Structures are given as C-alpha cells and as structure tokens.
Amino acid sequence: MPSDLLMHPRLADCRRLFLRDHEVHVDIGVHPFEKRAPQRLRINVELFVPLARSQPRRDRLDEVVDYDFVRERVAERVARGHIELQETLCDDLLAAMLAHPGVRAARVSTEKPDVYPDSAGVGCEVFAIKDSV
C-alpha cells in the first residue's frame, strides 16, 4: 500500500523506497526474560528520495539510493550491542537513514512479534523530514 506520506507537500516530488519486514535477531529489552537471548525483531524502513536525485538515466545502481545502504545501517546498529528500548533503536536508525545525502525523509518502525502471546506484536515508529535536500 502506498505511503500516505507521499501526500505531504515536501515529499510530493519524491520516490519512496522501502525495506519491509526485515527480520533480525537483536539483543533488546529491559525485562530479565528479554535479556536471556536475542529476540526476533521486524524492522521497516521507508526512504523518501527526491526524484531529481534518483532518476536512473543509465540504469545504474550509483544513480539511486541502494537498498544495501539500509540493510548495512541496520546490521551496524544491531552489532553495537544490547539495546534497552525499541525507541532508542528507531531513533538511531532514523538518524542513520537521514545521514544519507540523497534522503529527504525517512520513517522507521520496529516490532517485537514474540513478546505477548495475545498480540501480533509491539513496537514503535518514528518519522522525520530533513530541513534540506
């Protein structure tokens, strides 16, 4: 389903790239039962890239934002060690996505699908638009 954020006036000229339901095992949580072993975590990332900066005229990867960039930033952050809160992870990943010079805005969400037996998942989401790009 297309993002409703494409209706935002500052994003109307953007292409939306996404990594959906990227599953990783992460040392995350504040409760003792969460600290016994890595937990399954789903990460979703949307990047909003101005069309003027992502028009592949020669059909080459260096003309666009590479999806590997997203996966690499996730892997780097997760490898840094235990994270107490999903909010911390979301904020860190959002900052990493916005650090890319071609990205105007980003949305990041994380979800723990195994915390509560009566829930599909618990998580959080953050979104930000850069002042320029």
* In the predicted structure, residue 70 carries a pLDDT above the cut 60: yes
- What are the pLDDT digits (tens) for 102-128? 999 999 999 999 989 999 999 999 999
- What are the pLDDT digits (tens) for 7-56? 788 899 999 999 999 999 999 999 888 889 999 999 999 999 999 888 88
**Is 4-129 CATH 3.30.870.10?**
no
* In the predicted structure, residue 101 carries a pLDDT above the cut 50: yes
pLDDT confidence of residue 48: 96
* Threshold 0.75, pTM exceeds: yes
Helices (H) and strands (E) in the chain, counts: 2, 4
Residues 49 and 63: beta-carbon distance below 8 Å: no
Nearest to 90, CA basis, from 65, 68, 122: 122
Proportion of the chain above pLDDT 70, given as a percent:
96
Domain boundaries, the chain: 4-129
Nearest to 15, CA basis, from 5, 28, 24: 5
